[in-house]
Amino acid sequence: MNPRLTRRRFIKSVIFSGAALSSGAGFYLASAQSRQAGAVERLVSLNINGRTRRVDVMPQETLAHTLRYKLGLTGTKIGCNRGECGSCTVTIDDVTHYSCSTLTHSVKGKEVVTIEGLRSESGALHPVQQAFIDELSPQCGFCTPGQIMSTVALLKTNPRPTREEARQALSGNLCRCGAYDHYLNGVMRASGQLS
Amino acid sequence: MPAFDNMPDMELYQPVQIDDALALAARLADRGWLVGGGQDTYGWIKDRNKRPDALIDLNGIESLRGIREIADGIEIGALTTLTEVATNPIVRERYSLLSKAASVVASPQIRNAGTLAGNVAQDVRCWYYRRGLDCYRAGGNLCYADTPEAQNREHAIFNASRCVAVTPSDTGPALVALEAQMVITSQRGQRVVPADRFFVGPDVDIENTTVLRDGEILTAVRIPAKWAGAEFYYEKVADRNVWDFALVSIAGAMRIEGGNIVASSIVCGAVQCTPRRLSSVERAIQGRPRNEATATMVAGMASQGARPLNQNAFKMPLMDNLVTKLLTA
Ligand SMILES: Cc1cc2nc3c(=O)[nH]c(=O)nc-3n(C[C@H](O)[C@H](O)[C@H](O)COP(=O)(O)OP(=O)(O)OC[C@H]3O[C@@H](n4cnc5c(N)ncnc54)[C@H](O)[C@@H]3O)c2cc1C
Ligand code: SF4
Ligand code: FES
Ligand code: FES
């Protein structure tokens, strides 16, 4: 195999922890030249909100952890940390995911967007953010970043959803204040269906 | 460190070729843990109740994704997400039973990440076990869910053997009803197991819910043409519409000719450790119309032989009522 390909495949295919590298056994040994080569793999490039960020990521690290505690993007909230609330919702290649239940290493080469990535260069709010303000959607606001990310993803594939479609699309985002109807009003306004 | 629970240190492998994944699975054996969407996995690990040394993330293996036509029906790559299964035009057109089942799993975000393989290979949701108690399923010698005080509203009413946990998978009953074939690959080769033999109860193996063993990877699920475009009925009853596991679910496929049911395949979820085929009901409705009269004739048949625990006798009329709905929908 062409050495560049091998190298590329190695990078794509394996992240060695120190222990795995030093064990020496196994088929990846041929491509893993040295301990340093393995160690370097913890340093990854992530595409977050349109910018490339270099960050040192543990093998088992979740995206929510990386965003909040390594990149300072604390708009993404952690409610349950186990896939049961939706407050950590981000989009990965325009699809919603719970960042608390996503390995950071699995988003290499993908486009991650968090609530911080929505406003325009000029600082203007995203239409969904503005619509949610206009409709007084949030109550305490803790679930709001997740509700907004789910709405942004919905409107990308379905620009004029029915209220029922919006309900389905936002059904993976709990709101303990029970502001659901206000969020749905926000979705309808953002999609130009409320005047 | 922040005050929330992180996962403990582990190795992570992200193979892009199936052969590499198989080699890793064989080498790591019980030290390794396959990851599809990880939606069942991370909870176990965050809770420290399962503690693999290494994760083998299968998501980079493109050949395990996607839905394609084969000579007899379709083949769904094991890593295909539940969202893809739920929205794929071929599945929706011919096997809407499966797309419906996939569309009611958990929540949109979990379906966007969760895979078909992970959905059928996920572990039981018994909270005593998930809590890390050393019950039978965890290698101990008692069942916390089968005691006079136990909270067992969600547990089994059939075929318990020490363990009374139920199958949590929403796609499982649909796959059994459609007579799917599970393609299991290891370094030694491939074996193809019918869905109804893929799932195993505690009488067969108390620590595993499927026939999958260390070193094996579920690589595809084949749906034979037999039930393509049949009449289907799927319903999942749960306390909440989102994020919640079935209390009882039903997946049925029926062929109707000349106004009568000539063949049927009806399966309930969440009543025992494996999807439960309702063979007696299938036999009784054979040759009869899909209507109220037939429903009345088989009333009570589905739940016959059930042995409810303290808190789950409600599952018996629930099963029977779902059969009625299937026949009268
Ligand atoms: C809050 C919450 C609610 C849920 N609600 C539901 C629900 O309503 N209905 C439902 O059915 N499920 C539910 N689930 C369970 C589960 O997360 C999903 O069903 C999901 O489909 C699991 O798929 P996954 O790919 O994420 O699994 P993973 O976590 O990646 O894998 C699950 C198991 O399967 C094994 N595995 C994965 N891929 C393979 C493979 N190719 N070959 C062999 N073994 C493999 C893994 O080793 C692991 O043991 C819920 C989970 C959560 C956290
Ligand atoms: S039902 Fe099964 S998993 Fe639950 S406590 Fe009993 S033995 Fe354990
Ligand atoms: S913090 Fe991720 S779903 Fe609750
Ligand atoms: S606004 Fe408070 S949780 Fe939703």
Task: Tell me the pLDDT tens digit for each residue of A19-34.
Answer: 333 333 333 323 333 3
**CB–CB of A68 and B2 under 8 A?**
yes
CATH architecture of B11-60: 2-Layer Sandwich (3.30)
d(CA B107, CA A167): 12
Complete DSSP assignment for B172-241? HHHHHHTT-EEEEEETTEEEEEEHHHHB--TTT-TT-SBS--TT-EEEEEEE-GGGTT-EEEEEEE-SSS
- Contact list in A for residue B9 (CB cut-off 8 A) is 17, 58-60
A141-179: per-residue pLDDT in tens?
999 999 999 999 999 999 999 999 999 999 999 999 999
Q: What is the pTM of this model?
A: 0.92
- Structure-derived torsion over alpha carbons of residues B137, B142, B144, B149, reported in degrees to the nearest 10: 160
Q: Which atom of ligand 1 is nearest to the CA of B64?
A: 41
Q: Which atom of ligand 2 is nearest to the CA of B127?
A: 4
**C-beta of A138 in contact with ligand 4 (< 6 A):** yes
What is the average pLDDT across A114-141? 97
Instruction: Name beta bridge partners: A97.
Output: A90
Ligand 2, from B134, B137, B162: best to mutate by most atoms within 8 Å of Cβ? B137
d(CA A153, CA A174): 17
Ligand found nearest the CA of A132: 4
Distance B163 CA to ligand 2 centre (A): 5
State the pLDDT at residue B224. 98
State the pLDDT at residue A163. 98
Contacts 24+ apart (CB under 8 A), B90-97: B91/B67, B93/B229, B94/B228, B94/B229, B95/B178, B95/B223, B95/B227, B95/B228, B95/B232, B96/B232, B97/B174, B97/B177, B97/B178, B97/B227, B97/B232, B97/B233, B97/B234, B97/B251, B97/B252, B97/B253
* Confidence check: pLDDT of A4 > 50: no
Q: For residue B38, give the nearest of A84, A89, A103 by CB distance.
A: A103
State the pLDDT at residue A170. 98
- Ligand 2: list residues with CB < 6 Å: B 124, 126, 128-129, 135-137, 143-146, 155, 163-165
Distance B272 CA to ligand 3 centre (A): 30
Q: Dihedrals φ, ψ of B154, to 5°?
A: -90, 0
Q: What phi-psi label fits residue A150: left (phi over 0), alpha (psi between -120 and 50 degrees) or beta?
A: alpha
d(CA B71, CA B142): 48
Q: Which residues of B266-303 are buried (b: 16+ CB within 10 A; e: fewer)?
A: bbbbbbbbbbbbbeebbeebeebebeeebbeebeebbb
**CB–CB of A103 and B57 under 8 A?**
yes
Question: What are the CA-CA distances from residue B218 to residues B58, B67, B194 (Å)?
Answer: 11, 15, 12
Complete domains list, chain A, with CATH: 43-117 (3.10.20.30), 127-190 (1.10.150.120)
B305 CA: distance to closest CA in chain A (Å): 36
- Contact list in B for residue A60 (CB cut-off 8 A) is 6-10, 12, 45, 55
- Ligand 1: list residues with CB < 6 Å: A 83-84; B 33-41, 43, 58, 78, 82, 105-106, 110, 113-115, 117-119, 121-122, 168-170, 212, 217-218, 243-245
Q: Which atom of ligand 2 is nearest to the CA of B202?
A: 2
State the pLDDT at residue B176. 98
- Chain A residue with Cα closest to B47: A82
Distance B115 CA to ligand 1 centre (A): 7
What is the average pLDDT across A38-54? 83
B85-135: per-residue pLDDT in tens?
999 999 999 999 999 999 999 999 999 999 999 999 999 999 999 999 999
Q: For residue A89, give the nearest of B38, B109, B242 by CB distance.
A: B109
**C-beta of A81 in contact with ligand 3 (< 6 A):** yes
Distance A82 CA to ligand 3 centre (A): 5
Half-sphere exposure of B271 (CA within 13 A, CB side): 32
State the pLDDT at residue A41. 82
- Contact list in B for residue A68 (CB cut-off 8 A) is 2
Ligand found nearest the CA of B59: 1
A60 CA: distance to closest CA in chain B (Å): 6
State the pLDDT at residue B6. 85
- pLDDT below 70 — which residues of chain B? 1-4
- Contact list in B for residue A78 (CB cut-off 8 A) is 4
- Chain B residue with Cα closest to A165: B108
